[in-house]
Every structure is written in structure tokens, then in C-alpha cells.
Structure 1
Amino acid sequence: MKIDHQDVKVSELVDGYKDSQEQGVFGYGGKLNIRPAYQREFIYKEKQRNAVIETLRNEFPLNTMYWAVSGDGFELMDGQQRTISICQFVNGDYSVDFDGTPKFFHNLTGDKKQKILDYKLSIYVCEGTDSEKLDWFKTINIAGEKLTDQELRNAIFSGPWLTDAKRWFSKSGAPAVQEGRDKLVNGAPLRQDILETALEWISGGKANIENYMGAHQHDADADELWQYWQRVFAWVKQVFPNQDSARARLMKGLPWGALYNTHKDDKLNAQQLETRIVELIDDDEVENKRGIYEYLLTDNEKTLNLRAFDEKTKQKKFAEQKGQCPKCGKGFEFGEMEADHIIPWHEGGKTEYANCQMLCRLDNRTKSGK
């Protein structure tokens, strides 16, 4: 792979700058693709963005940027945040404080404008195969903000399908997190977290995401993924209609897609489920209230993290039983036994001394109802 260094003036960089949203962002006379598929969306905050302009106006050195030869032009490999900050300012998209007064680029005096336009950016340009460029891209990002797994997948499976998918899942205020769905899912659209979640659900697990993206890479659109996402949350709303702020805190981040895939055809009564949710929230035995929803669909008590007997209770019960397991009648050391509810929780049993027995590991783990 060939790597060359060159200086590029700001005036050259912003020449022909155009942000066409999903159609791409270009500069340098239309020859520089500022946001290729493997680049993250613009995420600089105002303070970071303004600091870039302060660097230019004071002629301080700005960190080196990296471009890659692509056809008759270039792709920006590293430095998107700085590049867009510069282009947007010169384009008049935002103002920066100059000597105590917010000013747009067109408000500056001619000499101050020229000082910024004449600033020379340090650029390394590489030329090589796609795999070489991608490897280099990963390397130069190690020292910066590490790419997420989904951002790296986007680099591999770019195409019309990904462009359309990012329209639904990867923008600020993306449709995927509107209509209350933001209360139920974790992650930031700009860092591709929501897209990754949708792909994990529809493909049946993170290990299957790349297979799904590979199969759909050249599809004209991502309608299948978007429609699936809407079906998931329509089902959640139908089954668990109470999504007020208190409930949303319990529901946020649960694996709704996986639950939908398995239980979408179950006969579920929303009113009966609501009654059980209220009961379980009030049940002191249930320590993980977030696990209530999963439990109601799966009957897996482990999701509830039911109260366990404390050490004092176990020691006292062990001494009372003289180390003997009431199931098999054999004697054991304390460390070879486990506390068990005589009457299980689902039959109304409580975590109290009278309902505790010490069983050997084998009998406890094979006990009916476990």
C-alpha cells in the first residue's frame, strides 16, 4: 500500500461542499467522499466543533487526517468530525464566538476569512486494495474513539440496503426510536446501536448479523427490517399496553425482538398479564422487577432473581439438621449443601426460616419444581 503526505488548504477542502444526506457528503471539488459507508455519522457537540474553528483561526496545528484513493477521487478515512465542522462553518451553518461575539463565516472581515481559507490541513493519502484500506482504517482508529462492531460491519456490507437501513435506524431522531420506542430500547442511533439491535433480533442473534447483512447487501431497500421492527413494538404495545414512565424503566433494554420471535403466536391476555405485573411488583420475594416481563412469557423464575436465604439462616438450619439431608438421609459438610424453599415460591412459599431446608446439591438440583 502506498501512503503519501500532502497539504490541503481549507479553501480547497470546502470547494464544492455538499451534504445530500443519504446521497452522501462531498467536498474538495466533489472529489472527496466525506462520509463513506464505514464512517460514523456526525457526532461532534458544539464545544468540540467550535474548538476546531478556534484551532484554524489561531493557526494551531490540527491533527492529521487520512484519505484513501477511490476511483478518480478520495474517501475520507479518518477526520470526518473535523472536516464537517470546517465545511459547515465556512458554509454558514453555524456561528462561533469571535472576541465575545457570535459570528458566522460571512460576518468575518476579509482578512479573517482568508486566514481560515489559507490554513493548510495535514493529509495522508493511501492507495491500495479495499482490504488494505479497511485494515489501515481500523489501525488509525485505535488511538481515537473505537469503532463499534456495527460500524465495522457497515464498512464491509456497504450498498443500497445499508443506505436505506441507516435512514430508518441510524440518524438523530431516527424513525426506529420514535413513537415511544426510545423508552424500550438502549443505545444511540448515531453509533449504530439501534441498527445492531434490529439486526440481532431479526437474524436470531449477534452471531448471525453478518450473514443477514451479506444476504441483503445489494437489496434495493431495507423494508423487511423496518417492517419487522414495527411489528415487534406493535406486539409489545398490544401485550403490555401500560408503558408509563415507571413501567418503561422496567421494560427498557429487554430483548423484545427475541421474545416476539418466540411468543408472537401465544394466546396472551393483556388484562390478566397486567394483574400479574402489579402482583409481582408488589412481591418482596421478586428482587429483579425488570425480569417480570420475561418471566410472564417464559415461566423462567431465574429472570426474577427471587430472594435467597441469607448466610445466618443457612448456618442455623444446617446446625438444626445436624448436617443431614432430609431427602436422601445422608450427612454432608456445610459447603456441600444448599438452601431450599420447602414450599416453592410459585406455590406461595416465602423466604423465611420456617420454609427453609438444607439439601445436598444433588437433591436440591433435581428437586421437582426447580
Structure 2
Amino acid sequence: MKIDLRKVKVSDLVAGYEDRGEEGVRGYDKQLNIRPAYQREFIYKEKQRNAVIETVRKNFPLNTMYWAVVGDDFELMDGQQRTISICQYVHGDYAVEIEGSPRFFTNLTAERKQQILDYELSVYVCDGADGEKLDWFKIINIAGEKLTDQELRNAIYTGPWLADAKRWFSKGGAPAAAIGSKLVNGAPIRQEYLETALDWLSNGAIDHYMAEHQDDQNANELWTYFQNIINWVNLTFPTYRKEMKGVAWGPLYNKYGQKKQDTGKLEAEISRLMQDEDVSKKSGIYDYVLSGSERALSIRAFTDNMKREAYERQKGLCVVCGKHFALEGMHGDHITPWSKSGKTDAKNCQMLCAEDNRRKSAV
């Protein structure tokens, strides 16, 4: 692999700059692909963006950028946020504060404009095989803002499927966020919506799914699946609660989505459990009312004082096997099960040895 250091003037970088949204962002007289498939979306906030222009205006050194040779053109491997910040400013997309007043590029004096256009960027240009360039891309990003696992997958499985999937899941105003923001955690531009949908559809085998569908012409299957989940949740649980955000809805839909549900009965049970102080993981209620698994709820544990009181009452004997154990070798257990309205209080606590507690929990 060959790597050369070049000096690129801002005037050359912004020549032919064009942001065509889904169709890509180009610069350097259309020779530079500023947003390849593996690049994240533009995530700089105003303060970061303005700091780039301030650095250029004061002729301070800006961090090195990295381009890769692709045929007769180039694609940007690292430095997208800085590159777009510069191009957008020169093309009049935003203003920065200079001497107490907001100034667009067109508001600057001819001398100040020329100073920015003459500023030289340090660019390493890499020419090698695709695998070599991808390895280098991963390495140079270690020092910057760490790439998410999904951003790295996007670097590997580029193609028409990914381009279409990003249209639905990876933009700031992505359709997936528009319908799922109350139910799904994460930020579309960091590929978290895309990763969540893929994880649900593939049962955790994201890499396998992306490899299998890399050359598909669209991501209709994934987008339709995601819409079906959101619609199912809204219909099954029509009363929205903040605890619904972040629930693993995909696995629940995969298992229970085709089963008929009594929404009124579900709502009554959810309301009751939300008021139960023994349920410490309220978001688990939605899993529980469908699956019946108490493990989803994280029932409140007995305190050390409650367990000590029960241990003394039992004189250190396990109520099942009758053998004596040290306090540290025993576990607090509900005499009347929580599922039968047993409370997590001192009167309802009994101590079991580890083995008998394990057997009971397995039933």
C-alpha cells in the first residue's frame, strides 16, 4: 500500500462541492467522494463546526485528513466532519461569529476570503487494495471518535442494500425515527436504529444478514419488518408509558406478534404492576404480561436485615432440607410467592440453602 502526504488548498477542496443528499456529497472538482458508504452522517454540533472555521481563519494547524484512491478519483476515509464544515461555510450554509457579529463567507472582506481559500490542509492519500484501505480506516479512527460496531459493519458490507437501508434508518429525520422514537433508544446518525432493527430481524446474526443481502437492490424486508413491530406495539399497548422506550420489542414481536391478545386485560395487568413496589424493573412488565416470566421483572430482593431476622427465626436451618448453614450460604425466599400476592417484607421471608433455592428457582 502506498501513502503520500499532500497539501490541498481550501479553494481546491471546495471546487465543485455538491451535497445531493442520498446521492452523495462530492468536492475537489467532483473527484472526492466526501461521504462514502462507510462514513457516518454529519454529527458536528455548531460549536465544533465553528471551531473548524476559527482554526482555518487563524491559520492554526488542522488535524490531518485521509483520502483513498479509487480509480481516477478519491474517497474520504477520515476527516468528513471537518471537510463538510469547511465546504458548507464557504458555500454560505451558515455563519460564524467574528468580532462579535455573525459573518457568512460572503460577508468577509476580500482579504479574509482569500486567506481561507489559500489555507492548506494536510492530506494523506492511500493507494492500495480494498482490504488494506479498510484496515487503515479502522486504525486511524481509533484516535478519533470511536466508531460504533454498526459503523464498522457498514464499512464492510457496502452496496445497494446498505444505501437503501440508510435511507430509512440512518438520517437525522429518518422515517424509522419518525415512527419509533418513543420506543427505540439511540441516534439514527450513529447507526443505532439500523443496528437495532437488524439485531431483531436476524436474531443477533447481524453480520450474517448483511453479508447475505449486501447486493440486494433494496432494504424493503427490513423496513417493512420494523414498521410491523411499531404498529404491533401501538395496537397491543395503546396506552403509552415512558417505560416502553428501550424495550426489546423485536424478540417479543417475533414470538407473540401473530397471537391474538386481549388489550384490555393486558392494560389492566400493566397498570397493576406499575403500582407494585416489588417490581423494580418496570420496563420488564411488557415482557412479563406476554411471557409470564418473572425474570423479566427483577422482583425487589429482601434486605440484609430481613434475611437476618428470618435466619435467626429459623436458627440457621434451611426450611427445606433442615440442615444448618452460615448466613452467607443462604438465600432469601418468598414464603408466599410474589405471583400469589406475596410481599417482599420481613414476615414473608424464609431462608433456603443455595442448592434448595436453585431447585426452587428452576421450577
Give the shorter-chain TM-score range.
over 0.9
Look up the match of 1:319.
312
Instruction: Output the amino acid matched with 1:223.
Output: N
Q: Distance in 1 between matches of 2:327 and 2:60?
A: 69
Q: Distance in 1 between matches of 2:359 and 2:280?
A: 24
User: Retained in 2: the 8 A contact 1:33–1:75?
Assistant: yes
Post-superposition shift, 1:368? 7.7
User: Retained in 2: the 8 A contact 1:199–1:209?
Assistant: yes
Cα distance change on mapping 1:368 and 1:290 into 2, 3 Å: closer
Q: Distance in 2 between matches of 1:364 and 1:117?
A: 73
Q: Distance in 2 between matches of 1:79 and 1:72?
A: 20
Q: Secondary structure at the match of 1:178?
A: helix
Q: Distance in 2 between matches of 1:209 and 1:240?
A: 28
Q: Distance in 1 between matches of 2:22 and 2:139?
A: 27
Cα distance change on mapping 1:344 and 1:28 into 2, 3 Å: same
Look up the match of 1:57.
57
Q: Residues 302-341 of structure 1: matches in 2 within 5 Å?
A: 302-341=295-334
Q: Distance in 1 between matches of 2:18 and 2:272?
A: 57
Q: Distance in 1 between matches of 2:361 and 2:20?
A: 63
Look up the match of 2:223.
226
Deviations 1:63-116 (A, max 9, x none): 111111111011111110111011111111111222222122122222221111
- Residue 297 of structure 1: which of 290, 293, 305 is its match? 290
Deviations 1:338-370 (A, max 9, x none): 221111011111122332222222222223885
Look up the match of 1:197.
196
Instruction: Output the amino acid matched with 1:201.
Output: W
Q: Distance in 2 between matches of 1:141 and 1:352?
A: 52
Look up the match of 1:185.
184
Q: Distance in 2 between matches of 1:235 and 1:332?
A: 50
Look up the match of 2:352.
359
Q: Residues 1-370 of structure 1: matches in 2 within 5 Å?
A: 1-179=1-179, 181-205=180-204, 208-243=205-240, 247=241, 249-367=242-360, 370=363
Q: Secondary structure at the match of 1:26?
A: strand
Q: Secondary structure at the match of 1:366?
A: helix
Q: Distance in 1 between matches of 2:300 and 2:160?
A: 51
Instruction: Output the amino acid matched with 1:25.
Output: V
Q: Secondary structure at the match of 2:322?
A: coil
Q: Distance in 2 between matches of 1:215 and 1:327?
A: 54
Q: Distance in 1 between matches of 2:277 and 2:195?
A: 36
Q: How many residues align?
A: 363
Deviations 1:204-260 (A, max 9, x none): 11xx101111111111111111110000010001110111xxx1x211111001110
Post-superposition shift, 1:337? 2.1
Q: Distance in 1 between matches of 2:305 and 2:243?
A: 31
Q: Distance in 2 between matches of 1:229 and 1:216?
A: 17
Instruction: Output the amino acid matched with 2:206.
Output: I
Q: Distance in 2 between matches of 1:369 and 1:276?
A: 25
User: Retained in 2: the 8 A contact 1:5–1:125?
Assistant: yes
Bigger shift: residues 126-135 or 259-268: 259-268
Q: Distance in 2 between matches of 1:367 and 1:80?
A: 57
Instruction: Output the amino acid matched with 2:51.
Output: A
Q: Distance in 2 between matches of 1:317 and 1:43?
A: 56
Q: Distance in 1 between matches of 2:309 and 2:24?
A: 70
Q: Distance in 1 between matches of 2:236 and 2:4?
A: 59
User: Retained in 2: the 8 A contact 1:344–1:369?
Assistant: no
Q: Secondary structure at the match of 1:142?
A: coil
Instruction: Output the amino acid matched with 2:25.
Output: V
Instruction: Output the amino acid matched with 1:311.
Output: D
User: Retained in 2: the 8 A contact 1:200–1:209?
Assistant: yes
User: Retained in 2: the 8 A contact 1:141–1:147?
Assistant: yes
TM-score computed with the length of structure 1 as normaliser: 0.95
Instruction: Output the amino acid matched with 2:192.
Output: D
Q: Distance in 1 between matches of 2:345 and 2:107?
A: 75
Q: Secondary structure at the match of 1:315?
A: helix
Q: Secondary structure at the match of 2:324?
A: coil
**Aligned-pair identity (%):** 62
Structure 1 regions of 5+ residues with no counterpart? Answer: none
Q: Secondary structure at the match of 2:122?
A: strand
Cα distance change on mapping 1:93 and 1:363 into 2, 3 Å: same
Cα distance change on mapping 1:369 and 1:212 into 2, 3 Å: closer
Q: Secondary structure at the match of 2:126?
A: strand
Q: Distance in 2 between matches of 1:88 and 1:35?
A: 14
Q: Distance in 2 between matches of 1:226 and 1:214?
A: 17
